[in-house]
Amino acid sequence: MNILIAVLVMGIIICIHELGHFTAAKLFKMPVSEFAVGMGPKVYSYDTVNTTYSFRAIPVGGFVNIEGMDIDSDIENGFNKKPAYQRFIVLIAGVFMNFLLAFVVLFFTVYSNGTYKPDNSPVIGEVFKEAAANEYIHSGDKILDIDGNVITKWSDIGAAVSKVSEEKNNKVEITVLRDGKEEKLTVPLTKDPQEDRMILGVVPNFIKEPVSVGEATKLSIKSGVKIFTNTLDGLKMIVTGKVKTKELTGPIGIIKVVGDASSQGASVVLWLMALISVNIGVLNLLPLPALDGGRLIFVILEMIGVKINKKLEERVHLAGMVFLFGLIIFITTNDIFNLAK
């Protein structure tokens, strides 16, 4: 089931991307011979007067076959016969749809789930498993007193623990309200792995608060921009060699990650869908031959008056296609080895 969910997520992302190209091409009356979901041999197809809609055997990827992209093509209204601005819109439409999908998914997640803010009351929401206090205090306990310091709000807990730890005490006397009864406990503190201090190792309860449409929109855009910048940072790390090649993940690895995440609930899967959709959008914008970004470079040059040798452009894209296929094979092999481990 997890694999099916992962394949469905990837299928939706790819389908939405190709739908962008397809819709823009149809808008400018470019002939589209096929809209395919998946790769490899056809499993099912439906023919119309102008376009064949098909599902293919390998449930990863997809494509839109827009007629007239070959330099020798003489097809009426073909891609290369259209004005440069129309070709630009067709090429950018797939990326635009990836970003739009991410926004819609993030908006739906934020609006339906609301936001969570920490409760200011001194009630334990969770005790870290690594904390020594885990054996003594529990979720739902209300802390009333720490070593004679009255606790009325959550921030009082940290202040009291800091005061006690400064006195070189590794244990605190805590009074908690549990199941309507007060209990006095001697609770050991834990060394904070990040800082040179002793901590209790607890977090508060979180209160769910609904958000308005405007707030959900702002949070969704903010989250989308954050994913975008993180993706660029990740690419920079790959180029500079800070990320090892064995750590790269392709379609198989992504499907595994999404499949594993599906057990954590729909919200996590939806967030991953937004993340992957933005990543695919950014990758397609890279100025590499055969990718949308590589084709966009040539169209932009044409739009600003730079004459392009179409045969040279075709050779560049062909070389880029060979490179991409090689990269896909390498990353897929890497995924298989990682799964075997």
- Annotated catalytic residues are 18
- Report whether 151 contacts 207 (CB < 8 A): no
Beta-sheet strand order (sheet of 149-150): 149-150, 142-146, 171-178, 181-188
Distance, CA of 116 to CA of 204 (rounded, Å): 11
Identify the CA nearest to 124 among candidates 107, 143, 108, 111: 143
**112, two tokens:** 């339906």
DSSP assignment letter at 48: -
Q: CA angle 109-115-117, nearest 5°?
A: 155
Collapsing DSSP to helix, strand or coil, 322 comes out as helix
Alpha carbons within 13 A on the beta-carbon side of 338: 18
Distance, CA of 173 to CA of 145 (rounded, Å): 8
Question: Which parts of 65-211 fold into alpha helices (H)?
Answer: 84-113, 154-166
In terms of Cβ atoms closer than 10 Å to its own Cβ (0-12, 13-18, 19+), residue 137 is buried
The C-alpha torsion from 15 through 20 and 24 to 25, rounded to 10°, is: -30
Tell me the residue type at 223: S
